[in-house]
Structure formats: C-alpha cells, structure tokens
C-alpha cells in the first residue's frame, strides 16, 4: 500500500484547493474588509475543494454517506445558528471595524464552542469527504482544521481585547461623567 494509491498528489486541483483553504482565513483576518469578498472567497474555495475531490481516487472504506449526512447537518447547524446569533456585521468581521455587539454572544452555539463557524465548516468539509469516499479530502480537511486553529489564535485574543477596551472606555466615561 502506498500513499499514491489513495491520494493523487500530482493533481493540480489538489494543490490549488490546499492553497485556497489556507488563504481564506489568513485573508479574512489580515486584509478582508467586505462581507461580499469573504462570502465570494468561501464559494470559490468550496468549488475548488469539490473539484479537487472529483479528480482523486475513491476508497470504499471511507465512503460513509450516512455519517456524512449527520456531520453535514451538525456543521450547518453550527454555522447557521452562529450567523443568526451574530447577525450580518458580527458574522462578517464587524468587530474589525469597531461595530461591536452589546456583549459577546455566549448562548448557542457559542456555549458549545468559541468558534462555531470554523468547526461547523470543518465538519462540512469532512462530510463531503466521507460522502464521496476520497482520502485526499481527509488531507484537505486536516488542513482546514489546522488553518482554523491558527485563525483562532489571532481572533480569540483580538475579540477579548476589543470588548475589554470598550468596557474600560465605558467605565472611564462613567467615572468622568460623575466627576463633572
């Protein structure tokens, strides 16, 4: 048994999918400033992922359609419920522009995980892999997981800091208002 039996590393579509998987969270956190851009890049990334899997070898042992349905449902519940809880500005980096919610969201799905969109998306990538029975998808899903873990290392401290800063400013403002 060799790796090339299960994953065709010579396929350009596999490399292109891997690049877009890594690019998206980096771009969102460093450069992106518009919801349309973020959404469009996600659509392109997902298309390239599906295209990459289409060109890869099939392995019956990981073809698990019923498990895939469950993972896809769970992943989409996490993604869609977090979008509902955050609204458009919270979903598409409103905090990067100083558009903060009254308080950080702590209800479902944020009481399950601090990054429900990332983990829901990861579950969806895994679901597609299992549905199609493509070992290369396991490799790309692992990349998705790693990229999102790295993105969380930037995002979570940033979010804590911007809300803490706002709370400090509010407290100072109240103190100044009472002193006058």
Cα–Cα nearest to 71, from 120, 118, 123, 132: 123
Q: In this structure, what token pair is assigned to residue 138? A: 């396991």
pLDDT attached to residue 39: 79
pLDDT attached to residue 128: 98
Q: What share of the chain is helix, strand, coil (3-state, %, to 5)?
A: 75, 0, 25
pLDDT attached to residue 75: 98
pLDDT attached to residue 48: 95
Cβ–Cβ contacts within 10 Å for residue 66, how many? Answer: 9
* Residues in the chain with pLDDT values less than 50: none
| Residue in the block written with tokens 């890049």 | 41
pLDDT digits (tens, 9 = 90+) for 57-108: 999 999 999 999 999 999 999 999 999 998 877 776 666 666 777 877 889 9
pLDDT attached to residue 126: 98
Give the H/E segment covering residue 116: helix 116-132
């Amino acid at each position: 048994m060799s790796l090339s039996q299960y994953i065709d590393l010579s396929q350009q579509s596999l490399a292109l999918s891997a690049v877009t998987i890594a690019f998206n969270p980096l771009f969102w956190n460093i450069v992106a400033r518009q919801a349309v851009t973020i959404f469009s890049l996600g659509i392109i990334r997902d298309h390239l992922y599906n295209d990459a899997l289409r060109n890869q070898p099939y392995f019956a042992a990981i073809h698990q359609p019923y498990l895939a349905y469950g993972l896809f449902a769970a992943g989409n519940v996490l993604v869609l419920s977090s979008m509902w809880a955050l609204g458009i500005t919270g979903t598409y980096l409103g905090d990067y522009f100083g558009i903060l919610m009254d308080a950080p969201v702590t209800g479902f799905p944020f009481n399950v995980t601090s990054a429900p969109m990332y983990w829901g998306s990861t579950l969806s990538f895994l679901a597609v892999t299992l549905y199609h029975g493509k070992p290369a998808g396991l490799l790309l899903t692992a990349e998705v997981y790693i990229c999102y873990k790295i993105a969380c290392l930037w995002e979570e401290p940033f979010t804590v800091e911007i809300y803490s800063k706002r709370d400090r400013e509010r407290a100072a403002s109240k103190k100044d208002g009472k002193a006058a």
